[in-house]
Amino acid sequence: MSQQPSEALDRPHRLVVLAGPTAVGKGTVSAYVRDHFPEVWLSVSATTRAPRPGEQEGVHYHFVDEPEFARMERDGELLESAVVHGQNHYGTPRHPVEAALAAHRMALLEIDLQGARQVRASMPEALFVFLAPPSWDELVRRLVGRGTEDEEERNRRLETAKVEMAAEDEFDVTVVNDDVRRAAQELVSLMRSH
Ligand code: 5GP
């Protein structure tokens, strides 16, 4: 069903869940959407990961410690949550998503595969978009080229990416990230056309 218009594309989708393998450029594509399509509301995830240089609290993530993340989970404040790359906790704060949808905004969640599956269970009306690399070799190049992880971490992420690539068929539609601007425009046109 990937890359083919599926039945899911016939329904209105103000909520789009974007997932895909590690290093495919989900963050870059969603940053492009944030900067160029202000009509789209972007969910800001909570994470226990430390900020990378240049990352801002409340813009890229809500950076929280483990006890605070556990509290958010316990109190039902997260729409979905997952441990990504076997390391840090990530989760989508529930209320902002509900508020954006109540305000009739187009909303975009950029999350990992485990999270996407949880959202599918609770919000099946969303459109699930798989962001794919042009090829596996290109994905490896992007992961190595990013240079933000050490070798052990890189290998861990490549293992995760292999499993994630196999999940493409679970999604309603595939967008190939051959070019950030083009991929972002395709993503937004999927939201706009409904
Ligand atoms: P990074 O640490 O590179 O920013 O993100 C690592 C992974 O975590 C990415 O695959 C990203 O999509 C995923 N991620 C970011 N926010 C969330 C979230 O709220 N929930 C889930 N399940 N995954 C997330």
CB–CB of 37/175 below 8 Å?
A: no
Supply the range of the domain harboring residue 137.
12-193
Q: 22 in ligand 1 pocket by Cβ < 6 Å?
A: yes
The number of folded domains in the chain is 1
Q: 21 in ligand 1 pocket by Cβ < 6 Å?
A: no
Task: Tell me the whole-structure pTM to 2 decimals.
Answer: 0.89
Ligand 1, atom nearest to 88 Cα: 2
Q: What is the pLDDT of residues 16-27, one digit of tens each?
A: 999 999 889 999
Q: Using the predicted structure, report yes or no on whether residue 178 has a pLDDT greater than 90.
A: yes
Determine, yes or no, domain membership for 70: yes
Q: Using the predicted structure, report yes or no on whether residue 145 has a pLDDT greater than 90.
A: no
CA–centroid distance, 158 to ligand 1, in Å, is 15
Determine, yes or no, domain membership for 65: yes
Ligand 1, atom nearest to 22 Cα: 10
Where would I find the H helices in the chain?
26-36, 66-74, 94-102, 113-122, 136-146, 151-165, 180-192
Q: What is the pLDDT of residues 77-108, one digit of tens each?
A: 999 999 987 789 999 999 999 999 999 899 99
CB–CB of 97/14 below 8 Å?
A: no
- Least confident piece of the model among 7-16, 69-78, 107-116, 172-181: 7-16
